[in-house]
Amino acid sequence: MNVLDNLLLNMLVLTVPILLYHIFLLESPRSVPLNWTGRIFNGFICSLAVIFCMSHPFFTMPGNDFDLRIIPVLAAFLYSGIYTGLMTSAVAVTYSYYLNSTDFIWSLASTALLIPFILAFIALSNWKHLAPKVMFPSLLAFMSALATFCLTTVYRIGSDVSIDTGFLFYGSLFCLVHMLSMWLLTFLIERIRENMIMRQEVQRSEKLNVLSELAASVAHEIRNPMTVARGFMQILSQSEVSEEKKRIYTTMVIEEIDRAQNIISDYLSFAKPQAEKLEQLDVSSLSQRLSNLLNPYASLRGIEISIHMEPSLFIKANNEKMIQCLVNLTKNGIEAMHGGGILEISGYKQRSKIILQIKDNGIGMTAEQIDRLGTPFYSTKEKGTGLGMMVSYRIIKNFGGDIEVTSHPDKGTCFTISLPVA
């Protein structure tokens, strides 16, 4: 019964930090990025779990303590990266010296052999893109426990320590407990993340349901250019207006009507998206068309568009919608570069994804502005409506892709579009 009590106590210590981390950090109103502070925090939590597991092995026998130290080490590598995993491993080795300095060299050697095995397993599997995600960590925990047991067996043989059926039984149980424990922890983590993502999707859907209320905002945006156009038309109706002024006023009327038409088109594209016919499309072939469309506009602002595309970047998309998205994002970049410069558009293949980047050296954005991109009627431009950005986000999402934004004030912005390979 003592074995079961220790095992349950170990599982409690391993699960409570995970639940607290997700409750207080990942479920906060603002998503907490996994920066260095987050990694150090995760490493600290995993290190405490390692120390506890090593201090409370779930069963012991002469010459060996069987504990769950591998579980927090694997969690650190899988969910916080290499440096956090190495930090947790270093704590495990250091604490093993504190517990039993005579076996320190053995503990150090086994950890040094196990870490490359874990890293190779993670690197070759691309586990975050596998389904179900709980299977890989469970298999990795089993393989790591099995490798540790095999190394322990070799150590006992080299030290002339007998290997009996009890040792083999405990070794088998050791591997099985690791696999089940990792399965439980990974299941909790992934289930919490899925619930968070589902809640975010529900919140987004609720925002989309208020489009009827946003119609008033659209009417307000349209009223401005229409009012300006009406005023110029009244002036043009007067006989004393010179031909030069008539030409200027006519140009202004056309520009304001075009502006109103763009607002209506963006709103309709967002509010009533049509089912597009997807076809195999070479993104690199769109670069020339994009350049032809925007080069005149960019030249007027003293901006050069530099395009670097790898050949044969095939995706499943709609040609016109894809051009619309690229034009929106590129035009935003041009308008952000008030002092001229070079706007870079690049495309390349990365594993099973096609990556497109639109990078400017304009005014940039703050973290708060980036978080609000793609939300209804938010724009960083004085006369913008935010509809173009909403449409772009929806187009990429319909194609099964994502848009990531990195930006710094006064340094520029980079839009990174990732789409699945056709």
Is 252 in the same domain as 359? no
Within 8 A by CB and 6+ apart from 102, the residues are none
**Which whole number is the average pLDDT over 133-156?**
84
Shared domain for 294 and 403, answered yes or no, is yes
The pLDDT score that the predictor gives to residue 353 is 93
Is 191 in the same domain as 328?
Answer: no
For residue 30, what pLDDT is reported? Answer: 46
Residues 43, 160 within the same domain = yes
Residue 357 has pLDDT above 90, yes or no: yes
Instruction: Classify residue 208: in a domain, yes or no.
Output: no
**Residue 197 and residue 258 in one domain:** no
Weakest-pLDDT range from 87-91, 170-174, 211-215: 211-215
**Mean pLDDT computed over 341-349:** 92
Q: What is the CA radius of gyration of the chain?
A: 30
Average pLDDT value for the chain: 80
| pLDDT value at 393 more than 80 | yes
Q: What pLDDT, on the 0 to 100 scale, is given for residue 376?
A: 61
Asked whether residue 173 falls in the same domain as residue 32, the answer is yes
Q: Highest mean pLDDT: which of 104-118, 166-180, 335-349? A: 335-349
Residue where one domain finishes, among candidates 203, 227, 243? 203
- The token duo for 193 is 């993340």
The CATH number given to whatever domain includes residue 9 is 1.10.1760
Does 405 score more than 90 pLDDT?
yes
Predicted local distance difference test score (pLDDT) of residue 157: 81
pLDDT of 312 > 70? The answer is yes
pLDDT at 214: 64
The last residue of a domain, from among 179, 203, 227: 203
Whether 64 has a pLDDT exceeding 90, the answer reads: no
Residue at 110: amino acid letter: S
pLDDT at 31: 45
Question: Do residues 222 and 249 share a domain?
Answer: yes
User: 155 and 233, same structural domain?
Assistant: no
**Is 7 among the domain residues?**
yes
Average pLDDT over residues 86-111: 83
Is residue 354 a part of any domain in this protein? yes
Statement to judge: residues 169 and 102 lie in one domain: yes
Q: Note whether 251 and 345 are same-domain residues.
A: no
pLDDT in the model for residue 32:
45
Q: Which domain holds residue 299?
A: 279-420
Instruction: Say whether both 300 and 365 belong to one domain.
Output: yes
Contacts made by residues 175-180, CB under 8 angstroms, sequence distance 24+: 175/142, 175/145, 175/146, 175/149, 176/142, 177/7, 177/58, 177/68, 177/145, 178/68, 178/70, 178/71, 178/141, 178/142, 178/144, 178/145, 179/138, 179/139, 179/141, 179/142, 179/145, 180/138
Per-residue pLDDT of 315-330, as tens digits, reads 999 887 888 789 889 9
Give mean pLDDT, residues 82-108: 84
Lowest mean per-residue pLDDT among 28-37, 104-113, 117-126, 164-173: 28-37
CATH value at residue 233: 1.10.287.130
Q: Point out the domain boundary residue: 203, 232, 258.
A: 203
The number of folded domains in the chain is 3
Contact in structure between 399 and 392 (CB atoms under 8 Å): no
In a domain, 209, yes or no: no
Tell me which of 272 and 13 has the higher pLDDT: 13
Residue, of 63 and 192, whose pLDDT is higher = 192
Q: What is the pLDDT of residue 343?
A: 93
Q: What is the pTM of this model?
A: 0.48
- Domain CATH for 296: 3.30.565.10
pLDDT of residue 128: 62
Q: How do residues 236-289 score in pLDDT, each as one tens digit? A: 777 677 778 778 878 878 877 887 787 677 666 666 555 567 889 998 888 888
* Residues 97 and 224 placed together within one structural domain of the fold: no
